[in-house]
């Protein structure tokens, strides 16, 4: 027997299997318990365009009569609209299930509450997990929000979710003042950074990183074979377009979008346009591209999440202007010294001690000799 | 049944119970297995002047005949000299034990190897744990070295062991530029910092911290009730002597030594001497007290370990001049911004990326919302 909390936690774990594969959909997981509360099936949304989690779980149930009196747990309200697949709420309404327990209400106005209504009209008991678990409700809600944070942010803000990734020393430096930075962190940490890159739709770098590191920025992780990830180079002047066809980024011939975000005052750069490179001309602020406009444009062009990988200047700007939504900081047990390093917060200021930034729901994970902090801004 | 490795690991855990109570002795733990390899007894050196670990464990053995064919595991070679207690090696030689497995050879030239010789002469089998555990030998040796690091350092270097403690943001800041720093870390972290303070014989602070924070610096932790810890204020000019009798440090009336380490060029400060305050006049380097001379003087005066608690300037000097031996860094998931913070490495420089400092055997421990890094320089 599983408790309601246990079933929902299992559904959350299931959902995470879809991370990085289902965008622009949210990751969703589902667990079905039979009428006695015993485990019957689990499933998740595996990839964009594929079965939703509920259908994936139902396929595991051999005999429909096992569903008599069963309870279905799903991390997000079942959908009510005809998208790539038929609406799940209608499919569930026809089954002999007696109860549906959901995690979050869908923030998408096309669906919000409608799936629940269809199920109630069909005579199902419909309950939120928060209403069932008493004291644990805050914690399970946090887990559900974290699970679907990209989707929830997209729906609420109509902007792309930005995760900042940095590897630093104990004293907050990303690199030596000479520019050298390879490698601060261990293989374990760098492998996990590849996994995190795979979770996102696109990588963002600044022009300095493009020129200095000439990175490929493809996804090199076993969980994301053949995943194409897109790349945005933020470069107010647009000057990197001149050399882009010689870059490792371009020459890796990955089937992906390569985007240069340039300032609209530099429209003349269009004349250098390579047919394979998208150019976004965006508003500027104080002579630099307004990062908010990058996130709006990225959202409009179908990129739901971006992984901001450097350098110090761009990362610092994302934090300074409150456009970073999650921080992944790998910390190596090393010291460079304040005077010798480039900090990931070089342009960030707190007018007072109280005005400092505190990450929400921080999670620390030791990784080889290093540690990973993950937290929400 | 316990394996040899398991028995030694248990002895190490036992030994740690004495941390903070046995100085200037090392912490030592002991486990006894009977002739069939079953657990018989464990013990540790509880406080300076009390029984050594072997004797503490033997007191747990009800009938001497249980020792027939038994094996005794001890983290450090049994002592051979008459100190506060009779030599353990002689006591063990008289018992029906058949085997003694030791961790480290005593680095103290008064004892080194002599305890083992006494046991061998008495017909005991004497083996090092490293020789018994094959592939695990490097790891168990590291654990043994970490356990007794203060004592080993004292014996080898004839200097006091210095641990640096800092609480920082993710970007390496200890405080806001305004000086404000209370509190970056959580109660859990601050409570653990009190425990760490209790492990050391004395606290060291700089004159800035003395003036700005006016700290009491007593040990406020359940594991160290009534522990007196001594305090050293590093103050080249000696000017803090003028106000010391008004300080919280002085007025807490703890039964402890209060020491002001001043530069020898400021011998005139002696005229302000309070009868309750020791003054050390020490060599200077570039106008500041040579920290090496602080550690030599502290050792000579019976302080085996010091806990360097701030401020940024003093901590940074300890690191810069390679006088810090262990780092305890509490990191709060917060960002102050490079321009707004005082770094704990403000005077530290690495000429090249390769010249950066890498901590040895780093251990990361999540603590509330924060993390603690502990590592050896």
Contact with chain A for residue B336, Cβ under 8 A: yes
The three-class DSSP label of residue B111 is coil
Per-residue model confidence (pLDDT) at position A245 = 87
Check whether A329 has a pLDDT greater than 90: yes
Instruction: Compute the nearest-CA separation of A375 from chain B (Å).
Output: 8
Please tell me whether residue B109 adopts helix, strand or coil conformation: coil
% of chain A residues with pLDDT over 90: 76
- Asked if the model's pLDDT at residue A272 lies above 70, the reply is no
pLDDT at A162: 98
Check pLDDT > 90 for residue B268: no
Euclidean distance between CA atoms B173 and B334, whole angstroms: 10
List the single residue in A332, A348, A371 with the smallest CB-CB distance to B335. Answer: A348
Interchain pair B334, A358: CB under 8 A: yes
A362·B333 Cβ contact <8 A = yes
pLDDT number for residue B111: 73
Average pLDDT rounded to a whole number, residues B60-87? 89
CB contact, 8 Å: A368 with chain B? no
Q: What is the pLDDT of residues B207-246, one digit of tens each?
A: 999 998 899 888 889 888 888 889 999 999 998 888 888 8
Residue B352 sits at the chain A interface (C-beta within 8 Å):
yes
Whole-number pLDDT of residue B176: 96
Mutate to test the interface with B, among A333, A360, A361 (most CBs of B within 10 A): A333
Q: Suggest the residue from B164, B315, B362 to mutate for an interface test with chain A (most A CBs closer than 10 A).
A: B362
User: Is residue B142 pLDDT above 70, yes or no?
Assistant: yes
Which residues are within 8 A (CB) of A63 and not within 5 positions of it... i.e. 6 or more apart?
Answer: none
pLDDT of A111 over the 80 cut: no
**Residue range B74-100: mean pLDDT, rounded:** 89
Q: Is A322 on the interface with B (CB under 8 A)?
A: no
Compute the mean pLDDT over every residue in chain B, rounded to the nearest whole number.
93
pLDDT of residue A39: 96
B353 and A170 within 8 Å at the Cβ level: the answer is: no
Range scoring the smallest mean pLDDT among A28-37, B161-170, B238-247: B238-247
Which chain B residues are within 8 Å of A180, Cβ to Cβ? 352-353
Q: Which residue among A175, A332, A345 sits closest to B337, beta carbon to beta carbon?
A: A345
CB contact under 8 A, B335 and A345: yes
Dist. CA A231–CA A202, nearest whole Å: 5
Q: Which residues of chain A make contact with B349, given a CB cutoff of 8 A?
A: 337, 339-340
Non-local CB neighbours of B292 within 8 Å, separated by 6+ positions? B159, B321, B323
- 3-state secondary structure (DSSP) of residue B219: coil
What three-state secondary structure class fits B40?
strand
Whole-number pLDDT of residue A345: 97
Give the model's pLDDT for residue A268: 80
B77 Cβ neighbours under 8 A, 6+ residues apart: B102, B104, B105, B106, B111, B112, B113, B115, B116
Q: Confidence band (pLDDT; 50, 70, 90) for B7?
A: very high
Which residue, A149, A142, A138, is CA-closest to A107? A149
Nearest-CB residue to B178 (from A168, A332, A352)? A352
Sheet holding A125-128, edge to edge: A39-44, A29-33, A71-76, A99-104, A125-128
Window 132-171 of B: residues touching A by CB (8 A cutoff) are 168-171
Question: In sequence order, what E strands does chain B have?
Answer: 29-33, 39-44, 71-76, 99-104, 125-128, 161-168, 173-176, 202-206, 230-234, 258-263, 277-282, 284-285, 288-289, 305-310, 326-331, 334-335, 341-343, 357-358, 360-367, 370-376
Interface test with A, best of B322, B343, B356 (most A CBs within 10 A): B356
Per mean pLDDT, which range of A140-144, A317-321, B36-40, B244-248 is the poorest? B244-248
Most confident of A250-254, A283-287, B42-46: B42-46
Characterize the bridge pairing of strands A284-285 and A288-289: antiparallel
Query: Residue B271: is its pLDDT beyond 80?
Result: no
Interchain contact, B339 vs A347, CB within 8 Å: yes
Q: Which of B101, B87, B90, B112 is nearest to B10 (CA)?
A: B101
The answer to whether residue A95 neighbours chain B at the CB level (below 8 Å) is no
Q: Is the pLDDT of residue A318 over 70?
A: yes
CA distance A330 to A197: 14
Tell me, what's the pLDDT at A112?
85
User: Distance (Å) from the C-alpha of residue B122 to the closest C-alpha of chain A?
Assistant: 45
Active site residue B254: no
Cβ-contact A103, A63 below 8 angstroms: no
pLDDT value of position A274:
64
Res A186: pLDDT = 97
Residue at token pair 């939120």: A128
Of B54, B77, B254, B309, which residue is the catalytic one?
B54
Is pLDDT at A297 greater than 80 in this prediction?
yes
With a cut of 80, say whether residue A108 has pLDDT above it. no
SS (H, E, C) chain A: CCCHHHHHHHHHHHHHCCCCCCCCCCCCEEEEECCCCCEEEEEECCCCCCCCHHHHHHCCCCCHHHHCCCEEEEEECCCCCCCCCCCHHHHHHCCCCCEEEEEECCCCCCCCCHHHHHHHHCCCEEEEHHHHCHHHHHHHHHHHHHHCHHHHHHHHHCCCEEEEEEEECCCCEEEECCCCCCCCCCHHHHHHHHHHHHHCCEEEEEHHHHHHHCCCCCCCCHHHCCCCCEEEEECCCCHHHHHHHHCHHHHCCCCCCEEEEEEHHHHHHHHHCCCCEEEEEECEECCEECHHHHHHHHHHCCCCEEEEEECHHHHHHHHHCCCCCEEEEEECCEECCHHHEEECCCCCCCCCHHHCEECEEEEEEEECCEEEEEEEC
Longest dimension (CA), chain A: 70
Q: How far is B210 from chain A (nearest CA, A)?
A: 20
Is B317's Cβ below 8 Å from some Cβ in A? Answer: no
The mean pLDDT value for A226-244 works out to: 90
Question: Does the distance separating the beta carbons of A180 and B353 come in below 8 Å?
Answer: yes
Per-residue pLDDT at B167 exceeds 90: yes
Q: What is the pLDDT of residue B272?
A: 60
Q: Could you report the per-residue pLDDT of A146-175, keeping only the tens digit for each?
A: 999 999 999 999 999 999 999 999 999 999
**B335·A357 Cβ contact <8 A:** yes
A335, A344, A362: residue with CB nearest B171: A344
pLDDT at B274: 64
Residues of chain A with Cβ-Cβ distance to B213 below 8 Å are none
**Does residue A91 sit at the B interface (CB-CB below 8 Å)?**
no
Please, which pLDDT band fits residue B77 given cuts at 50, 70 and 90? very high
Q: Which residues of A touch B326 (CB under 8 A)?
A: none
Q: How much of chain B exceeds pLDDT 90, in percent?
A: 76
Checking if the pLDDT of B108 tops 80, the result is no
Least-confidence region, from A73-82, A123-132, B122-131, B272-281:
B272-281
Q: Kindly state whether A376 is in contact with chain B, defined as any CB-CB distance less than 8 angstroms.
A: no
Mean pLDDT value of segment A46-71: 93
Distance from CA of B357 to the nearest CA of A (A): 5
Q: What is the pLDDT of residue B112?
A: 85
Mean pLDDT of the residues in chain A: 93
pLDDT in tens, B146-163: 999 999 999 999 999 999
DSSP state of B178: T
Higher pLDDT, A268 or B147: B147
pLDDT of residue A82: 79
Tell me the count of A-B CB pairs closer than 8 A: 160
Query: d(Cα B274, Cα B32) in Å, to the nearest integer?
Result: 52
Pairing of strands A161-168, A326-331: parallel
Contacts of B371 in chain A (CB under 8 A): 364, 371, 373
Partner-chain residue, chosen from B338, B343, B369, that has the shortest CB–CB distance to A346: B338
pLDDT greater than 80 at residue A134: yes
Question: B373 and A333 in contact by Cβ < 8 A?
Answer: yes
Chain B nearest CA to A354, separation (Å): 9
Which pLDDT score is estimated for B137?
Answer: 85
The mean pLDDT value for B318-335 works out to 97
Confidence class for position B323, pLDDT limits 50, 70, 90: very high
What average pLDDT does range B34-47 have in this prediction?
95
Average pLDDT on A84-103 reads 90
Rounded to an integer, the average pLDDT of A244-269 is 88
pTM, rounded to two decimals? 0.92
Strand order in the sheet with B230-234: B277-282, B258-263, B230-234, B202-206, B305-310, B161-168, B326-331, B370-376, B360-367
Q: CA–CA separation, B74 vs B88, rounded Å?
A: 11
- State whether residue A331 sits within 8 Å of chain B by CB: yes
What is d(CA B70, CA B32) in angstroms, rounded to the nearest whole number?
7
> In this model, does residue A360 exceed pLDDT 80?
yes
A contact test, residue of B335, B336, B361, B370 with most A CBs within 10 A: B335
Is B340 an 8 Å CB contact of chain A?
yes
Q: What pLDDT shows up at residue A168?
A: 98
**Shortest Cα–Cα distance, A216 to chain B (Å):** 23
């Amino acid at each position: 027997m599983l408790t309601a909390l246990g079933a929902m936690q299992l559904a959350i774990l299931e959902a995470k299997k879809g991370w990085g594969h289902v965008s622009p959909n949210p990751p969703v997981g589902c667990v079905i318990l039979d009428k006695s509360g015993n485990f019957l099936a689990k499933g998740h949304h595996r990839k964009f365009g594929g079965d939703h989690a509920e259908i994936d779980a139902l396929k595991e149930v051999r005999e429909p009569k096992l569903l008599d009196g069963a309870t279905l747990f799903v991390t997000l309200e079942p959908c009510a609209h005809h998208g790539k697949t038929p609406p799940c709420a209608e499919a569930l309404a026809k089954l002999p299930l007696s109860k549906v327990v959901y995690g979050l209400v869908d923030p998408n106005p096309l669906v919000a509450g409608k799936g629940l209504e269809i199920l109630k009209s069909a005579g199902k008991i419909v309950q939120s997990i928060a209403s069932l678990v008493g004291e644990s409700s805050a914690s399970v809600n946090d887990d559900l929000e974290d699970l679907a944070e990209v989707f929830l942010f997209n729906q609420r803000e109509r902007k792309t979710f930005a995760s900042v990734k940095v590897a630093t020393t104990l004293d907050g430096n990303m690199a030596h003042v000479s520019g050298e930075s390879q490698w601060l962190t261990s293989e374990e940490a760098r492998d996990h950074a590849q996994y995190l890159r795979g979770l996102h739709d696109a990588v963002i770098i600044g022009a300095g990183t493009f020129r200095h590191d000439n990175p490929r920025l493809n996804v090199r992780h076993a969980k994301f074979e053949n995943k194409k990830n897109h790349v945005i180079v933020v470069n107010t002047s647009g000057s990197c377009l001149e050399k882009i066809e010689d870059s490792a980024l371009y020459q890796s011939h990955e089937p992906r979008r390569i985007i240069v975000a340039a300032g609209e005052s530099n429209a003349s750069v269009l004349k250098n346009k390579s047919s394979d490179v998208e150019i976004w001309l965006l508003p500027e602020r104080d002579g630099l591209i307004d990062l908010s406009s990058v996130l709006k444009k990225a959202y409009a062009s179908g990129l739901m999440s971006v992984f901001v990988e450097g350098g110090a200047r761009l990362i610092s700007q994302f934090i300074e202007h409150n456009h970073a939504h999650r921080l992944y900081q790998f910390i190596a047990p090393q010291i460079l010294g304040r005077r010798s390093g480039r900090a990931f917060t070089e342009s960030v200021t707190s007018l007072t001690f109280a005005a400092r930034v505190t990450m929400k729901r921080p999670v620390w994970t030791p990784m080889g000799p290093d540690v990973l902090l993950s937290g929400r801004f």
